Structure 1
Amino acid sequence: MAGTAPSSSGAAAVAESVSDLNYLLRPLHWMAVLRHPSGAGRSPLCFRLYTFAMASFTLSFFCSEVIVLYREGTEDLDVFTLTLSVADTDIIWLFRMAHAIVCERAFHKLALQVGHDFAEFLTWDDIPMLRVQCRKVRRFTLTYISFGIGACSCYLVSPVSAEGLPFILALPFDATQPLGFGVTWVYCMITTLHVVVMTMILDSFNVSLIAQLRMQITLLSSKIVSLAKEVSERPENCSETYAQYELRYRLLKCIRHHQTIIKNADLLERSLGAMLLAQSLSIGASACFQMFQIATSANGLQQTGKFICYLFAMLAELFVYCWFGDDLITESENLALAAYDAVTSLQECPLSLKRSLLLLMHRAQRPLRVTAGGFFPLSRESFVSVVNVSYSFFAILRNFKNEEE
């Protein structure tokens, strides 16, 4: 029978290797964002000091932007909106670093969920699908991160300040001198790469966790469909006692599999909810400001490209969550349909088995989803709504500037 202990153990080990997230966990660890699960048992003191140093670096950049806002005020609306959008990006990254520390244990548990929580439910038949899906997710996330690096490069080589720097900053020294300019540009480069690229790597890690849960739902749906098919095609001379025992065993295993998926989805929702709400609000504001900059302040192709890169980077950060969140909702709905179809194939089974399957179907009718703090689910429709709201505020800002002129 598929599911013997040695087979299941071997399949789980291969599945864990296939779904390994070390390519994201390592850079997060190296850049003091999230400790690697392998080092969770050691003292976090050195890592926390490193995290504090990197956070202080970003905090100093944020303070410099706040000083510019205080000095310049709203007299120059272009400078105000540009500086405010950069400060908004910095502060939300500081919030995300603090959030990663608070939810570190949950992230470590979820990073190892395939090998730990789902090991008993995996068979060799599941490996090909997992391998293909994990390869797609990895390819997508690496492309997403590469886009972030490209956007940072474009932004850093496009000056906006009088000194020729990529940001408008309040500095304690003269940045027009060669040494001061070089030091400041390196400072801008390190901060930009840390904030933007690490944000995208952390996003990639989070959506990979969502994708892993979606894959488990897909596997569970296929197991339920396969179970119903085997029952309908069972030979007449098959032992009723043995067949019912095997059916009960496999059905209970499917139910436990579903319960584990729900438990991990709830943990992921609790871990990401507050962060996603803050990030959605931040991205909505940044998108509004960047559309304003593109429409009113961009002079020439280089500056327009700079603002467009910023805008697309912000929207991409929200889009990846909405895309993978929508897939999770869709796959959860497909699970309910699979359970419904299976019920019609198990008419000759004992009432207790049909009742168990009906309970699974009833719970699956409430699809699993990841929300922004419980306010709205992350889906493709949500992404369109956020963009529409940002555009509405952009239109208000543009009309306000036109009235001033």
Structure 2
Amino acid sequence: MVFATTCIYLLQECFYAYQEKSDMEKLSRVMFLLLCHVTSLAKQLVFLTDADRIDRMVAGLDGITLFPNTILLHIHIHTVQVVKLEATRRALRTRSGFAHRLLNCAAAHVARLRRGYAGCAAFTCLLWAVFAAQAHARRQPFEFPLWIGVNTTDTVGFVIVLLYTYYVTTLVGIANTTMDAFIATVLYQCKTQLSILRMNLERLPQSASALSTASGRRRDDVFAALFVDCWLQYKRICETAGLVQDIFGGAILVQFGIGGWILCMAAYKIISLDFISIEFASMILFILCILTELFLYCYYGTELTEESTLLVDAAYSMRWAGEGRAARRLLLLLLVRVHRPLRLAAGRVVPLSLDTFVKILKSSYTFYAVLRQTK
């Protein structure tokens, strides 16, 4: 229903833009919304066509923090040496307590992000509706930036069209921000899991010694079991990050390609507005939403890359000098694997980095300057 509604509204905007192609003021008024709806449709199409893979990706997030060998080792200790169970619990709590705190902080962070981001979009749409209602109440001419085919001079027709435009723009705004927040959340979850993995690697020898003492098993066997857990955790993180790139890479590429034009059209529109007006405030909020939309992907992509580069130092900084040959061989294997950091790219072309965000801002200013000169 959301996809169909967005498509119908987009067609109405396209028809209006074609009718007013010779009037730059009216064209700029419709183009920033039209392009924003295009990016929303691109992401909605991904969520519709790749729903199964997205469900599997979300389900896979729950399995990243599981440590199967540690759980089996815990069962072995419980059945063989109950006397030392409390020491084992302390070791396991040390291993998982920091992880739970990080995950809770991440959940609170992304919840605030989603509420603030979606709330900003909804409030922007509300200001647009208030501005239109205010203009109609003052008997000032107001033209909706879409093809309607209905007379909006009388109050009944105006109210119907106003409610329709408010509903659709709010629907698209909430959908767009929610999809952006979802993708950013997955990226942030991968970054958080890398932080947990880094902590596990740094404490791997100490954890192996504590669990070996509590279980009575050979330390090398315990170290190998914990190492395999870390290896599997890193493998799941890489798989999840790869799914984000494969599923949403095309939609993010569309977002990056059109984002500069959206900012350009919004800036072109805002310079003609009264500084103290509801429409000016709504356009400021709209530009803030678009900047946030672009910044989320670039920021969390950079965070993921930087966190993955720290794994090499974490693995090398553990107390490996006193480990056996088998443990050092496993460590060398991990160092070779994590030496290449995770670098996600939109459409496998444009990297998700803060440098890309700066380039988009520069390109949008270039478009704006060209439009101003050719006015």
TM-score under structure 1 normalisation?
Answer: 0.78
Aligned to 1:368, what secondary structure does the other structure show?
coil
Equivalence for 2:204: 227
Q: Distance in 2 between matches of 1:308 and 1:271?
A: 31
Equivalent of residue 155 in structure 1, options 124, 128, 135: 128
How far has the Cα of 1:293 moved from its partner? 1.6
Equivalence for 1:176: 153
How far has the Cα of 1:136 moved from its partner? 2.0
Q: Distance in 1 between matches of 2:119 and 2:259?
A: 20
Equivalence for 1:398: 372
1:334 aligns with 2:310: yes
Equivalence for 1:71: 19
Q: 1:353 to 1:386 in 2, by over 3 A?
A: same
Identity %, equivalent residues? 23
Q: Distance in 2 between matches of 1:359 and 1:128?
A: 29
Q: Distance in 1 between matches of 2:245 and 2:262?
A: 24
Aligned to 2:167, what secondary structure does the other structure show?
helix
How far has the Cα of 1:100 moved from its partner? 0.7
1:389 aligns with 2:366: no
What do the CA deviations read for 1:258-288 (whole angstroms, capped 9, x no partner)? Answer: 1111111111111111010011112111001
Contact 1:155–1:309 (8 Å) recurs in 2 = no
Q: Distance in 1 between matches of 2:118 and 2:148?
A: 30
**Greater length-normalized contact order (CA 8 Å, ≥ 6 residues apart):** 2
Equivalence for 1:164: 142
Q: 1:348 to 1:378 in 2, by over 3 A?
A: same
Q: What are structure 2's unaligned runs of at least 5 residues?
A: 71-91
Which stretch shifts more, 150-159 or 276-285? 150-159
The number of residues matched between the two structures is: 341
Equivalence for 2:27: 80
Q: Distance in 1 between matches of 2:199 and 2:288?
A: 37
1:289 aligns with 2:261: no
Counterpart AA for 2:108 = R
Q: 1:241 to 1:62 in 2, by over 3 A?
A: closer
Equivalence for 2:57: 110
Equivalence for 2:276: 301
How far has the Cα of 1:95 moved from its partner? 2.1
Q: 1:56 to 1:137 in 2, by over 3 A?
A: closer
Equivalence for 1:205: 182
Equivalence for 2:84: none
How far has the Cα of 1:230 moved from its partner? 5.5
Q: 1:61 to 1:106 in 2, by over 3 A?
A: same
Q: Distance in 2 between matches of 1:291 and 1:279?
A: 18
Counterpart AA for 1:347 = A
**Higher CA-based Rg:** 2
Equivalent of residue 36 in structure 2, options 73, 76, 89: 89
Counterpart AA for 1:135 = A
Q: Distance in 2 between matches of 1:163 and 1:239?
A: 81
Equivalence for 2:231: 255
Equivalent of residue 339 in structure 2, options 362, 365, 378: 365
Q: 1:136 to 1:90 in 2, by over 3 A?
A: closer
Q: What are structure 1's unaligned runs of at least 5 residues?
A: 1-50
Q: Distance in 2 between matches of 1:104 and 1:385?
A: 32
Q: Distance in 2 between matches of 1:119 and 1:238?
A: 21
Q: Distance in 1 between matches of 2:46 and 2:238?
A: 23
Contact 2:350–2:356 (8 Å) recurs in 1 = yes
How far has the Cα of 1:229 moved from its partner? 4.8
How far has the Cα of 1:180 moved from its partner? 0.8
Contact 1:285–1:390 (8 Å) recurs in 2 = yes
Q: Distance in 2 between matches of 1:67 and 1:357?
A: 62
Q: Distance in 2 between matches of 1:163 and 1:353?
A: 77
How far has the Cα of 1:117 moved from its partner? 4.5
